[in-house]
Chains A and B, each alone.
Chain A
Amino acid sequence: MPQTLYDKIWNEHIVYQHDDGTTLLYVDRHLVHEVTSPQAFEGLRLSNRKVRKPNLTLAVADHNVPTTNRSKGIEDQDSKIQVEELEKNCREFGIEIFGMNDKRQGIVHIIGPEQGFTQPGTVIVCGDSHTATHGAFGSLAFGIGTSEVEHVLATQTLIQKKSKNFRINITGNLLTGVTAKDVILQTIGKIGTAGGTGMVIEYAGTVIENLSIEQRMTICNMSIEAGAKAGLIAPDEKTFKYLKGKPKSPKNENWDKAVEYWSKLKSDSSAKFDQEVEINGKDINPMVTWGTSPQDVVSITESVPDPEKEKDEDKKKSIIRSLEYMGLKPNTKITDIKVDRIFIGSCTNGRIEDLRDSAKIIKGKKVAEHVNAMVVPGSGLVKQQAEEEGIDKIFKEAGFDWREPGCSMCLAMNADKLNPKERCASTSNRNFEGRQGRGGRTHLVSPTMAAAAAIAGHLTDVRKFKN
Chain B
Amino acid sequence: MKKFDILVGIPANLSMINIDTDMIIPKQFLKTIKRTGLGKNLFFEMRYDDNEKKIEDFVLNKEPYNNSSILLTGKNFGCGSSREHAPWALLDFGIRCIISSSFADIFYNNCFKNGMLPLILEQKKIDEIIEYSKRKQNIEINLTKQEIKFGNKLIKFTIDKFKKNCLLNGTDDIAMSLEKKEEIKLYEDSLKKNKPWIN
Q: Chain A residues in contact with chain B, CB under 8 A?
A: 15-16, 18, 20, 22, 24, 26, 28, 35-36, 38-39, 42, 47, 49, 52-53, 55-56, 63-64, 76, 78-79, 81-82, 85, 119, 122, 127-129, 143-148, 150-151, 154-157, 159, 161, 163, 193-194, 197-198, 224, 227, 229, 250, 254-255, 257-258, 261, 293, 314, 318, 411-413, 430, 432-435, 438
Contacts and interface: CB of A to CB of B under 8 A. Distances in A.
B195 interface: yes
B82 interface: yes
A433 B22 contact: yes
B51 interface: no
A445 B199 CA distance: 39
B76 interface: yes
Contacts of B161: 20
A350 to B, nearest CB: 17
B138 interface: no
Nearest to B186: A15
B18 A318 contact: yes
B91 to A, nearest CB: 12
A64 B110 contact: no
Nearest to A119: B197
Contacts of A229: 105
A193 B80 CA distance: 9
Interface string B18-39: 1010110011101111110000
A198 B162 CA distance: 17
B76 A227 contact: yes
Contacts of A155: 174, 177-178, 184
B180 interface: yes
B46 to A, nearest CB: 9
Contact of A411 (B27, B79, B109): B27
Given A24-B183, A150-B174, A156-B184, A432 B74 contact: no
Interface residues on B, range: 35 or more
A321 to B, nearest CB: 8
25 contacts: A20-B161, A24-B184, A38-B34, A39-B35, A42-B33, A42-B34, A52-B184, A55-B199, A64-B31, A78-B31, A81-B33, A143-B106, A144-B106, A145-B82, A155-B184, A193-B18, A194-B75, A194-B102, A227-B79, A257-B196, A314-B17, A318-B16, A412-B27, A432-B22, A434-B23
B183 A16 contact: yes
A143 B102 contact: no
B127 interface: no
A147 B45 contact: no
Contacts of B76: 193-194, 197, 227
A117 to B, nearest CB: 11
B174 A151 contact: yes
Contacts of B17: 314, 318
B33 to A, nearest CB: 4
Interface in B173-199: 173-174, 176-178, 180, 183-184, 187-188, 191, 195-199
A261 B191 CA distance: 13
A227 B35 CA distance: 25
Among A16, A143, A229, A258, the most chain B Cβ lie within 10 Å of the Cβ of A16
B102 A257 contact: no
Contacts of B84: 36, 39, 127, 145-147
B78 to A, nearest CB: 11
B161 to A, nearest CB: 6
B113 interface: yes
Given A193-B18, A434-B22, A26 B30 contact: no
A35 B30 contact: yes
A194 B79 contact: yes
Interface in B81-112: 81-84, 87, 102, 104-106, 109-110
A36 to B, nearest CB: 7
Contacts of A194: 18, 75-76, 79, 102, 104
